[in-house]
Amino acid sequence: MRRGSRAFAAAVTVSALIAAPAPAFAAGPPMGHAGLQNRLDRVVAAGAVGAIAEVRRKHDLWRGASGAAEYGTTRPVPIDSRFRIGSVTKTFVAVVVLQLVAEGRLRLDDTVFPGRAVTVRHLLGHTSGVPDYRPTLPMPPSPGFFANRWRTWTPDELIGRVATLPPVFEEPGSKFDYSNTNYLLLGKIIENVTGHPYAKEIERRVTGPLRLRGTSLPGTSPRLRGPHPHGYVPGETGLVDLTEMNPSVMGAGGEMISTTADLQRFLARLLGGHLLPDRLLAKMKTPGTATRDYGLGLSWWTTSCGLRVYGNDGDALAYQTWTFATEDASRLVTVAVTPDFTADLDDAVEAFVDAAICAD
């Protein structure tokens, strides 16, 4: 559910290089819409079936597509496509948890397990040491993965797969270790506190009020409704269409579907202080450890022009998503790709994001 891996999660954040204050902004050369299209074409050439992107800079908006909506065809990717956003889901979940904190219904320092000092804060920031259930599951191209394609998983089943495993490290808060199990647990905490499933709380508190009409939490529904590109994973004899699958295996760690426009509206409203009090938004942007640029459901990195961008990225196997914005949300970039698995797309996409943010 986090990108940069051929599995549901990777243990690497977008960047681990920010140790000093960012330098002053130094704008790059002008880049018009044709330049952005050329950069997106490079992403597809690096190893994708198709890609879409949305770039907002000051008063300028560009939406573009490249490659094909379906492997082996020339059908263009719809600009208004829906796609699986993987671990970007975690930022939505984190917002709901922090809203409950703001309401006094939950505390960041509330402990989660009897006899072990894992707190809500540790779950949000991946510093709990709770093992990730993802490595216990078969992954493509294993036949076992495809045998589970339509299976409905409950959070308890997935959490139970690591219940008897020792913690990744003994002292919660001492290290960063990316674990999707953390967010399955947070989904259960939301339900315990509110009496409603986490999906209903996200809809009630975030997607509904923000009118994110292209965003959904599918639960166990395998379909991508509305315009969308097909997504693929590697099989034993080539790419296998995985556009439809039961997303319950990702749950609160990565089940959501969205659009470039919706993700940018969500991120702009979040960074603009419209979803959380300032003190809790500041905690989202505070690293949990000195070695990772990851706070409470939010990550960041510094571009080549010295601007820090905040957001998240997600890997839903057949779909990979990046959405980042400057702190004042004056510049936003969202990219969604359907990889062909001939290469890792991280460098190509991050070059696109960097150029789009930094161009004058």
Catalytic positions: 87
Q: Is the peptide bond before 141 cis (omega within 30 degrees of 0)?
A: yes
Angle at 277 between CA 276 and CA 281, to 5 degrees: 65
Of residues 11, 219, 235, the one with CA closest to residue 1: 11
Strand partners for 336:
52, 321
Residue whose structure tokens are 């510094």: 302
